[in-house]
Structure 1
């Protein structure tokens, strides 16, 4: 699905993380449009409302959100016939191998541990978009599931 322009959805409750993510997108070479939601309930409502005409090309999903966490959202997305083929990149501060294994089994496309430095954030977002599109947004082998800046 290599395209010149991607429509992304970021689901993250941390306002600073959302701002850094948007600023990083503005500075990478890949053209994007970004929508944001701030909890899991908003995410699922957004996807249901836009399921017919306006689904994102890719979701960046934080795990630790109020009202409905990222694991619950990923499960709902992958169990929904209309949404199951949506690529979902987990974008979280934690890196617990058992959780990462579970997310892989549930069908997440990639896992990114949120970097603390802005330059690394830009690098890993651009890398994620490039690698995912080259791989046609298919889930890689488990050894390549975690993306590093």
Structure 2
């Protein structure tokens, strides 16, 4: 998928993090479209209404209002029309017990939000690069957490 234009979706309620993410994706030529939603209910509404324009990859924050990232992950993976969408957890905190739980729930990877802008761009590029390696099997637990 490296040369293909992509539709990324970021679900995150932190406006500063959303702005930095957008700035980073603006500098990555592979991305055609970035959709940003600020709570879990908006995310699920969007996904359930946009069957023909679903994202290639979702970056999902865990702590959002109205519906948490964990609840959204559970709902997405339980929905036949949505479960194929790769989901990368994109969170400020990193609790390895929670990360293991999310791995078992079907998340593709876990990224702890980088503090520096160059590292935000770096982990987004790394995540996009991983899309070309996606097959029907989830990556190993050892490669689940992406470091910046």
- TM range, smaller chain: over 0.9
SS at match of 1:134: coil
Task: Please name the residue that 1:46 is paired with.
Answer: 46
Contact 2:8 2:31 in 1 (8 A): no
Could you tell me the TM-score, scaled by structure 1's length? 0.94
Q: How does 1:57-76 map to 2 (within 5 A)?
A: 57-76=56-75
Could you tell me the TM-score, scaled by structure 2's length? 0.94
Alignment of 1:127 with 2:122, yes or no, is no
CA distance in 2, matches of 1:134, 1:48: 26
Contact 1:10 1:61 in 2 (8 A): yes
Q: How does 1:1-149 map to 2 (within 5 A)?
A: 1-51=1-51, 53-136=52-135, 138-149=137-148
CA distance in 1, matches of 2:7, 2:71: 23
SS at match of 1:34: strand
SS at match of 2:132: helix
CA distance in 2, matches of 1:37, 1:138: 28
The CA deviation at 1:133 is: 2.1
Q: Deviations over 1:112-146 (max 9, x none)?
A: 00000001111011011102323348521000001
Q: Deviations over 1:9-46 (max 9, x none)?
A: 11000111000000001112433310111000000000
> Structure 1, unaligned stretches of length 5 or more?
none
SS at match of 2:16: helix
Q: Deviations over 1:81-134 (max 9, x none)?
A: 111111001000010011000100000011000000001111011011102323
* Equivalences, count: 148
Alignment RMSD? 1.4
CA distance in 1, matches of 2:137, 2:69: 19
